[in-house]
Amino acid sequence: MNSSSEKTELITWYLELTQENQFKPVPFFQEKARVEILSTELGNANSEVNSWFYHHVGKKWQWHDRANWTGSQWNDYVQTSDVITGVGYLAQDEIGYFELERQNHGADVELVYFGLLPEFVGGGLGAGLLTAAIESAWALKPKRVWVHTCNQDHPYALRNYQSRGFEIYKTEKSTQA
């Protein structure tokens, strides 16, 4: 079978936290780890940050939906008051990021993107950065925090979400050419 006709199964899991007490936080284990929050409300939203992390974190995981966005599209996206970005640091090094988006008039917060830069994957930083993302989401006072991941994501992504308390509420299977 040639590679152009091979098909792969895509499994997408949708997970949610519907109560804050479901959340199982794990702090960064390094004392020099921190997160900087960027948003229009804080006056520091920066489309170049989101674009840069999207491309550098997402390349390995086949993130496609924004691959061809223009600078103007990125700017329009981050300038909405519903988008909050978190950048993780270890000392002065940027290690990864997350994007949160308020939905349904603030009732839901989606963890739209989350990930570490390739050189920081496998060092145990994902759980701490995910904890910071979820804490930032609950600080917005939603009724639900949700995320989706798939079998093309990091092999421990689903486990990390479930270890933080997320529960699967829907699974979709499809075939990709």
CATH number of the domain to which 139 belongs: 3.40.630.30
Q: Whole-structure pTM over 0.85, yes or no?
A: yes
| Domain region containing 49 | 12-176
Tokens 């939603």, residue located: 142
Q: How confident is the model at residue 3 (pLDDT cuts 50, 70, 90)?
A: low
For residue 83, being part of any structural domain is answered with yes
What confidence tens digit (pLDDT) does each residue in 26-43 have? 877 667 888 999 998 898
What pLDDT, on the 0 to 100 scale, is given for residue 27?
76
| Angle (CA) 55 97 164, round 5° | 125
Over pLDDT 70: what percentage of the chain?
Answer: 95
For residue 161, being part of any structural domain is answered with yes
Q: Which residues contact 56 (CB under 8 A, 6 or more apart)?
A: 117, 118
Question: Which amino acid type is present at position 55?
Answer: H
